[in-house]
């Protein structure tokens, strides 16, 4: 172990290529070129130019979509994989939990598997015996420990794996999305262990799709995208950008699919051409006072001149529907203006919504009211403060002496 200020991990321009499967006789050729130190001809680059370092106590969270190279990076850092180019300096005792039950043999008992797993991590038999009680207590498998692990549930296996990986008191613990398997109480146990591990100066390298776990455990985060570092910095910043990117992508795919839908319908579709909240057309939320009045209005395009219907709804910012109505339900018919567009306006007086963010939506529907076409939304905010729960303020009265009718 070098000086205490040296980074625990230091990666310089690390690349990892995976050779693509070769056919027939080319396998021998491949061995020959590897022996001469040449790289294979047909490769898939899983990671390229990844450079960063981790210092003691700076836990790092890895985020990225499936296939971004997260697992490859963890394997590289755990020493399971050698980089194709670049260097990895490792100055720490590393405990790795790359996959649930890696190195466990189905036919053997939990106890036997603990011995081999500990030996794989470099523990001697005596050291393993010293730790055995702790491992068994943490894994909490009870008398099943002497049963072959093929009879274990996946939760039991992950508990055993975690207990073993943590028994070496590593300086760096590498885990790859394994916590997701355990049940609630085990997850809590792991979290508690990790918190005390972090408090004791341990460093965590966590790959997870749970932003909550990353934010809770890691100060730093690294966002991998298509094998490259897309962003690196404080966990909060990286997670925010990562989530924003996801929303962006979802929207892009949605926009694409609705554009395709439009293209399919050659004659055009019923469309919401414009939408206003209290006369304003703004992507920024308009502010309403408590019990304020909301008027949703706009224009619809009809491809065939027939009178379309309009559906207007209010949802919470998270998408929970609050209220929705179609013009046909009230027997209201839209009228066309001089421009050929159909006008609609609906007023909700004294809106009984609790403070918070909401979204108003307008949908264009065909004259039969069967199909929903377009979809436009505008945000608004109900002002004020309230300690009530839910999202509707229901009319209510309190009584000193409620007159409860007595059961007959």
Residues that bind another protein (CB under 8 A): 18-19, 27-28, 30-31, 34-35, 75, 78-82, 96, 98-99, 102-103, 105, 107-108, 112, 115-116, 119-120, 122-125
Find the shortest distance in angstroms from Cβ 42 to another protein: 12
Q: Identify each DSSP E strand in 294-371 by its residue range.
A: 294-301, 309-316, 321-326, 335-336, 342-348, 356-365
Find the shortest distance in angstroms from Cβ 17 to another protein: 8
- In the bound state with another protein, the residue whose beta carbon lies nearer, of 95 and 292, is 95
- In the bound state with another protein, the residue whose beta carbon lies nearer, of 164 and 198, is 164
- In the bound state with another protein, the residue whose beta carbon lies nearer, of 90 and 230, is 90
Find the shortest distance in angstroms from Cβ 34 to another protein: 6
Query: Which runs of consecutive H residues, i.e. helices, occur in 140-276?
Result: 154-167, 184-199, 211-217, 235-264
- In the bound state with another protein, the residue whose beta carbon lies nearer, of 23 and 387, is 23
Find the shortest distance in angstroms from Cβ 116 to another protein: 5
Interior CA angle at 16 toward 10 and 22, to 5°? Answer: 160
Find the shortest distance in angstroms from Cβ 290 to another protein: 59
- In the bound state with another protein, the residue whose beta carbon lies nearer, of 72 and 271, is 72
Q: How many CA atoms lie within 13 A of 12 on its CB side?
A: 5
In DSSP terms, 44 is beta-bridged to 18
- In the bound state with another protein, the residue whose beta carbon lies nearer, of 34 and 345, is 34
- In the bound state with another protein, the residue whose beta carbon lies nearer, of 24 and 349, is 24
Of the candidates 96, 90, 64, 86, which has an alpha carbon nearest to the alpha carbon of residue 17? Answer: 86
Find the shortest distance in angstroms from Cβ 41 to another protein: 14
Please provide the DSSP assignment of 1-20 as one string: ---TTS-SEEEEEEEEEEEP
Find the shortest distance in angstroms from Cβ 44 to another protein: 10
- In the bound state with another protein, the residue whose beta carbon lies nearer, of 4 and 25, is 25
Interior CA angle at 255 toward 249 and 258, to 5°? Answer: 145
- In the bound state with another protein, the residue whose beta carbon lies nearer, of 126 and 395, is 126
Find the shortest distance in angstroms from Cβ 12 to another protein: 17
List phi, psi (to 5°) of 106: -60, -35
CB 91 within 8 A of CB 43: no
Find the shortest distance in angstroms from Cβ 196 to another protein: 25
Q: In what order do the strands lie in the sheet with 335-336?
A: 271-277, 294-301, 342-348, 335-336
Q: How is residue 113 written in tokens?
A: 């598997």
Of the candidates 167, 200, 193, 169, which has an alpha carbon nearest to the alpha carbon of residue 179? Answer: 193
Q: How far apart are CA 64 and CA 245, in angstroms?
A: 11
Range 81-108 burial, b when 16+ CB lie within 10 A, else e: bebbebebeebbebbbbbebbeebeeeb
- In the bound state with another protein, the residue whose beta carbon lies nearer, of 154 and 253, is 154
Find the shortest distance in angstroms from Cβ 369 to another protein: 58
CB 362 within 8 A of CB 298: yes
């Amino acid at each position: 172990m070098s000086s205490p200020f040296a980074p625990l991990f230091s990666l310089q321009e690390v690349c990892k290529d995976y050779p693509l499967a070769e056919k027939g006789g080319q396998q021998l050729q491949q061995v020959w070129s590897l022996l001469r130190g040449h790289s294979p001809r047909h490769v898939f680059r899983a990671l390229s130019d990844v450079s960063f370092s981790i210092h003691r106590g700076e836990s790092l969270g890895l985020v990225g979509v499936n296939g971004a190279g997260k697992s490859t990076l963890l394997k590289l850092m755990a020493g399971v994989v050698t980089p194709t180019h670049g260097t990895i300096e490792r100055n720490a005792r590393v405990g790795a939990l790359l996959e649930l039950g890696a190195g466990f043999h189905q036919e053997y008992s939990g106890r036997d598997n603990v011995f081999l797993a500990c030996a794989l991590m470099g523990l001697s038999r005596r050291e393993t015996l010293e730790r055995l009680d702790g491992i068994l207590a943490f894994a909490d498998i009870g008398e099943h420990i002497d049963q072959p692990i093929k009879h274990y549930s996946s939760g039991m296996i992950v508990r055993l794996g975690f207990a073993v990986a943590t028994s070496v008191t590593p300086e760096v613990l590498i885990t790859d999305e394994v916590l997701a398997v355990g049940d609630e109480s085990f997850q809590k146990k792991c979290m508690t262990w990790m918190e005390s591990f972090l408090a004791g100066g341990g460093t965590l390298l966590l790959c997870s799709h749970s932003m909550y776990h990353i934010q809770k455990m890691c100060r730093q985060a690294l966002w991998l995208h298509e094998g490259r570092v897309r962003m690196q910095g404080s966990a909060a910043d990286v997670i925010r950008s990562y989530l924003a990117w996801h929303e962006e992508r979802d929207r892009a795919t949605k926009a694409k699919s609705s554009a395709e839908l439009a293209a399919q319908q050659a004659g055009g579709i019923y469309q919401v051409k414009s939408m206003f909240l209290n006369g304003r057309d703004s992507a920024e939320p308009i502010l309403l006072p408590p019990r304020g009045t909301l008027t949703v209005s706009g224009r619809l395009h009809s491809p065939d001149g027939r009178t379309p219907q309009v559906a207007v709804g209010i949802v919470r910012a998270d998408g929970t529907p609050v209220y929705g109505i179609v013009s046909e339900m009230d027997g209201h018919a839209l009228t066309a203006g001089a421009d050929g567009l159909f006008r609609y306006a609906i007023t909700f007086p004294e809106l009984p919504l609790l403070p918070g963010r909401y979204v108003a939506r307008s949908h264009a529907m065909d004259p039969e009211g069967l199909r929903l076409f377009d979809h436009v939304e505008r945000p608004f905010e109900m002002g004020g403060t309230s300690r009530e729960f839910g999202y509707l303020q229901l009319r209510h009265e309190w009584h000193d002496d409620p007159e409860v009718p007595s059961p007959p």
